[in-house]
Amino acid sequence: MKVIVADKISERGVQLLKEQPGWNILLTTNDTLSKEIADADALIVRSATRVTAELLDQAKKLRAVGRAGVGVDNIDLEAATKRGVLVMSTPGGSSVSVAEHTFALLLALVRQLPKFDAAMREGRWEKSSSGAEVRGKTLGLIGLGRIGSEVASRAEAFDMRVVAFDPFISEAAARELSVELVPLDQLLAECDFISLHTAVSAQTREMINAGSIAKMKKGVRIVNAARGELINEADLAAAIKDGHVAGAALDVFAEEPPKNCPLIGLPNVIATPHVAGSTAEAQEELGTQVALQIKDYLAEGIIRNAVRREPAGSFGGPVPARAPVPGIGGAARLAGFAGGGVKAGADSHPVCGRGSRSRYASAAQRGVGGRAERSAGRKGERRQCTRGGRGKRLDRGRGDSQARTWLPEHPGSLRTAGKNRISARFYGRRHCAS
């Protein structure tokens, strides 16, 4: 097997692939990728490498592309589908990091931290009354998937009211997060803060524009750590200049790096260079997760987190694949929707739902980012796993899915289908006691 790692991933992920007998693991750059892709069985990328139709035409043996991250907008899904190439993403690996960065942006924006920091660096002591509390304010989340859910839990700790617009989340799932589902127009009209957590699709591209901004309350603040294409940057800049929007905190831009973005440099705009998911923990998790998924697919035919081209009318972009992966029956497809693993050519699946309320989620119950509906999440819930008489408590956190996948190559490993908070951490046998 020849596996090309085109973008840098964690050393643990690379080592996991190198441990496979007879596998050739090749680290390439954009300059050398086209020369090596012809006989490759799999390709691993992050966001820097673009997997185009032209590149896929050169990859005569390619079976899978693994994306170390959530978004797959750098991969031509339609071209991959036509050529029978499986595309897998790694949802959940960076959810906590992105959620924490989102909240950091929100707090920095409302308390004007960059302004005060700049003043101190210039020797000015500007001890003035400015900013506002977030307590009691309303936060609107457009998208309540993995990251949106993590942001919601942090907002609750700050005593904020949280509302969300997400057509694929049930009322019951939202209630478990103490989130109120509302229509989009109501969210725009009521919220003091609006945070974006959806993929780019025909329905969401530039959804923040002059028309939607006009529906927002005066003084609203906007946070975006999802995709820059969700915002019409010129319209938002105009709204900030005329005072209708109090400010914006952005980690993503329509063009990256931004060259002529009208938002950069505005006094009420905080900008970071698409680093929300770039923590050491997230990168370690993403690299290990994508390597594990590629290994399991090539060696065992097990498919996890497959994506396909965005269907017409979808709200959130690419969704888990039901087709055209050969040989996957109905039960296996259902397991794929639940975020676990499915084995090509089989109608059964290795995902087990345990616990009194566990269940599998249908596609319609998944979050915008592809998250399975939270089923038995309770705040502070913990599980005890044992190995050789020694136990380690694993904090599942609020709302983790109960569906779990046992990894056959690692007896004693446990993966959660949902936020994958403990994926690639191997703490116990196939025994887990509540």
CA 109/CA 121 separation, integer angstroms: 18
Where are the domains positioned within the chain?
A: 1-93+279-300, 95-271
19 is known as an active-site residue: no
227 is known as an active-site residue: yes
Is the pLDDT score of 219 beyond 70?
yes
Beta 382-387 vs 432-433: how paired, if at all? antiparallel
Segment of 142-146, 369-373, 380-384 carrying the highest mean pLDDT: 142-146
Q: What class does CATH assign to 1-93+279-300?
A: alpha beta
Please state the φ and ψ torsions of residue 336, each to the nearest 5 degrees: -60, -40
DSSP string, 385-407: EEETTEEEEEE--TT--SEEE--
Is the pLDDT score of 370 beyond 50?
no
Q: Residue 147 contacts by C-beta under 8 Å, 6 or more apart in sequence?
A: 95, 98, 99, 102, 197, 225, 226, 369
- For residue 324, whether the previous peptide bond is cis, meaning omega lies within 30 degrees of 0, is yes
Q: Which of 84-93, 127-136, 315-324, 377-386 has the lowest mean pLDDT?
A: 377-386
Catalytic residue among 101, 146, 221, 227: 227
End-to-end CA distance of the chain: 40
Could you tell me which residues are beta bridge partners of residue 224? 196, 250
Catalytic residue among 46, 221, 274, 404: 274
Do domains 1-93+279-300 and 95-271 share one topology? The answer is yes
What pLDDT score does 315 carry?
Answer: 56
What pLDDT score does 191 carry?
Answer: 98
Q: Is the dihedral of CA 254, 198, 301, 409 positive or negative?
A: positive
pLDDT tens sequence across 153-176: 999 999 999 999 999 999 999 999
Q: What is the mean pLDDT of residues 327-347?
A: 40
Structure confidence at residue 404 as a pLDDT band (50, 70, 90)? very low
Is the pLDDT score of 39 beyond 50?
yes
DSSP state of 265: T
Is the pLDDT score of 114 beyond 70?
yes
pLDDT tens sequence across 246-279: 999 999 999 999 999 999 999 999 999 999 999 9
CB distance 376 to 354 below 8 Å = no
Structure confidence at residue 385 as a pLDDT band (50, 70, 90)? very low
Is the pLDDT score of 205 beyond 70?
yes
**Kind and range of the H or E element at 331?**
helix 330-337
What pLDDT score does 425 carry?
Answer: 31
Please choose, from the candidates 368, 426, 424, 422, the residue with its C-alpha nearest in 3D space to the C-alpha of residue 400.
Answer: 422
pTM above 0.85, yes or no: no
Q: Which of 85-89, 267-271, 323-327 has the lowest mean pLDDT?
A: 323-327
Angle CA 288–45–423, to nearest 5: 20
What pLDDT score does 190 carry?
Answer: 97
What pLDDT score does 71 carry?
Answer: 83
User: How many Cβ atoms are within 10 Å of 326's Cβ, its own excluded?
Assistant: 9
CA 406/CA 304 separation, integer angstroms: 12
CB distance 149 to 92 below 8 Å = no
Percentage with pLDDT > 70 across the chain: 71
Radius of gyration of the chain (CA): 22
Q: What is the mean pLDDT of residues 313-328?
A: 44
Catalytic residue among 255, 256, 281, 409: 256
What pLDDT score does 131 carry?
Answer: 86
CA 95/CA 69 separation, integer angstroms: 10
Structure confidence at residue 341 as a pLDDT band (50, 70, 90)? low
Q: In 63-80, which positions are buried (b, 16+ CB within 10 angstroms) versus exposed (e)? A: bbbbbbbbbbebbbbebb
274 is known as an active-site residue: yes
What pLDDT score does 391 carry?
Answer: 36
Percentage with pLDDT > 90 across the chain: 65
Total length of the chain: 434
CATH T-level topology, domain 95-271: Rossmann fold (3.40.50)
